[in-house]
């Protein structure tokens, strides 16, 4: 089979509550699709509710994967502390995302986790989360800059390990990023290397050593496409997908 000119990049999705007689919708924000397409990939939405066998077959046909942001993972998935701010739990979506993350990690399929996506990666491989950063982390920054704030608002700085794959992609050590989450990584899964921190010590990026491309970021680079380093994250994913 010839190498694809526009590698197929799967985009995870979520269920949207029924709002008409069609019984609801499956959706992924267009910002992710645009970022992948601008980087040279062809985005394809993967719906929740598929069997593990179907997901494995889909992943085998894809060249790469993006695990997108959204509602919270069920704390029961990581023995997390209950919190009243936990929202948007969807067991069917959790199963989709956690299964895809494990399959991509094990198979060497290039994948990128964004916001909820990095949290999915960590939980899938045995890590835990703060179920609410503001209430559970000592002296935290504000990380929940939403909903009535522009999604490209640069909320805080992150420091990136220059020796990491992410550091090489971004081409620097300090970057201002947006921040649209109230949960975050607490105990890091042993398979991961931490590649970026916020100034309050919260882990902002992880990667899988030895994997062709297994990177998660806590910010939303799809909303920062005016910044070349953030575009480079998607371009690096597409380049890795071309080699897969």
- Give the Cα-Cα-Cα angle 240, 62, 220 (nearest 5 degrees): 60
Q: Which helix (H) or strand (E) holds 33?
A: helix 30-38
Q: What sign does the CA torsion over 150, 152, 154, 156 have?
A: positive
Please write down the long-range contacts of 101-104, taking CB distance under 8 Å and 24 or more positions apart.
101/67, 101/125, 103/55, 103/56, 103/59, 104/59, 104/65, 104/214
Catalytic positions are 115, 220, 222
Residues 172 and 116: beta-carbon distance below 8 Å: no
Q: List the structure tokens of 5.
A: 């000119």
The Cα angle at residue 180 between residues 174 and 182, in degrees rounded to 5: 110
- Tell me the C-alpha distance between 103 and 139, whole Å: 36
DSSP 77: G
């Amino acid at each position: 089979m010839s190498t694809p000119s526009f590698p197929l990049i799967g985009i995870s999705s979520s269920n949207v509550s029924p709002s008409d007689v069609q019984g609801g919708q499956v959706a992924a924000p267009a910002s992710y699709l645009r970022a992948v397409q601008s980087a040279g990939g062809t985005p394809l939405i993967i719906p929740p509710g598929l069997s593990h066998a179907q997901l494995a077959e889909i992943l085998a046909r894809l060249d790469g994967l993006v695990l997108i942001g959204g509602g919270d993972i069920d704390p029961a998935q990581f023995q997390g502390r209950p919190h009243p701010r936990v929202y948007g739990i969807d067991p069917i979506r959790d199963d989709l995302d956690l299964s895809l993350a494990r399959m991509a990690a094990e198979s060497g399929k290039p994948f990128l986790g964004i916001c909820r996506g990095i949290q999915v990666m960590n939980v899938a491989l045995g890590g835990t989360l703060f179920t609410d950063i503001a209430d559970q982390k000592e002296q935290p920054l504000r990380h929940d800059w939403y909903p009535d704030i522009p999604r490209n608002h640069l909320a805080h700085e992150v420091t990136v390990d220059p020796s990491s794959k992410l550091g090489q992609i971004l081409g620097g050590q300090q970057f201002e990023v947006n921040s649209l989450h109230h949960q975050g990584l607490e105990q890091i899964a042993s398979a991961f290397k931490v590649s970026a921190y916020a100034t309050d010590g919260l882990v902002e990026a992880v990667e899988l050593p030895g994997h062709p491309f297994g990177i998660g970021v806590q910010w939303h680079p799809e909303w920062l496409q005016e910044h070349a380093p953030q575009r480079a994250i998607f371009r690096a994913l597409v380049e890795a997908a071309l080699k897969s």
